[in-house]
Amino acid sequence: AVGLIYILLGALMAVTYVGLGLAAAQGEEQVFLVVMGLGMGAFCAAFGVPMVAAAVGLRRGDFWAWVIAVIVGGMFAPSICLPIGALLLYAMLVQETREAFLNREG
């Protein structure tokens, strides 16, 4: 769910800033708003797409998805998203989950 929120938020920011830039701004301000909107959209998508892919892969029991989930949890833990990152790391690194995915690797 968090990954989908990131993707939707990125699309919304991109449309908003690009629209503002094209409709209201002139010259350098227009270029700045368009580039900022596209950059923010791409940044959010860069976080959202791996989360969605990991969720789909975890549901199927894929080892690579477990690795991505641990990486995403590690990225979230030292940020304002600490509760999400800590919960994700705990869920992925608890012995039962870890053994289930590490045994699927081979």
pTM value is: 0.67
Each residue's pLDDT, cut to its tens digit, for the chain (106 residues) gives 667 777 787 788 778 877 777 777 677 887 888 888 888 888 888 888 888 888 899 899 889 999 999 998 888 888 887 888 888 889 888 998 888 888 765 4
pLDDT in the model for residue 1: 64
* Closest residue by Cα to residue 66 from 97, 106, 44: 97
What's the pLDDT at 105? 58
Instruction: Provide the residue type at 12 as one letter.
Output: L
- Neighbouring CB atoms inside 10 A of 73's CB total 21
- Cα 61 to Cα 42: distance, rounded to the nearest angstrom: 28
Please tell me the predicted confidence (pLDDT) of residue 26. 78
Q: What's the confidence (pLDDT) of residue 41? A: 84
Residues 6+ away with beta carbon under 8 Å from 66 = 57, 58, 92, 97, 101
The full set of domain ranges for the chain reads: 1-47, 61-106
